[in-house]
Structure 1
Amino acid sequence: MTNATTRLEADLERLGLTHAVDAVVNSSRVGCAKPDPRIYRLTAARAGAAVERCLFVDDTPANVEAAREVGMTALHFRGPHQLREALAPLLEPRTA
């Protein structure tokens, strides 16, 4: 999810990143932008996940709060150490 311009798709193509993600929800294409609750719900739906199963990471406190208000787990990004910590339980090998 991004508050980007209509040039985003061309930029991703030029950078060879179109296959790096399953979907891009671009505010300029969907008609609503962060922190509008609709874009968070739309993003979860496009990912095929309940909002409660989503982790939203952003450096803007208002966007993080909006994600929490719709039910997402949200992280106010201030540095890579936070993201590593938040993702660690998902990336660690599972033991039986």
Structure 2
Amino acid sequence: MVRAKRIERALSTLLSTTNMPSAVEAFLQSVDKDGSGTIDTKELLAALGESGLDEKLVQEFINEHDKDHDGQLNLKELKDFLASCGCL
């Protein structure tokens, strides 16, 4: 859970805005470099940039919140995570 808190803080910083649902969609589109409509480990790691998070931690985070088990986060999964931590 401590590890998830680090990612939660990093995502909250990236998405700090008054219109969170639109910001989440815009975030997903900007991070989704391959246009798949989902965010994979490498895309999220690149988006988090200099946050100090490593690939293993980001992969664990995606695995924990990837409800359809495709190895990526889609818009619903990302919004569900943000809602569960009170960020949305």
| Pair in the same fold by TM > 0.5 | no
The alignment's TM-score, normalised by the length of structure 2, stands at: 0.32
Q: Comparing both chains, which one has the higher relative contact order based on Cα–Cα distances under 8 Å and sequence gaps of 6 or more?
A: 2
Larger radius of gyration: 1
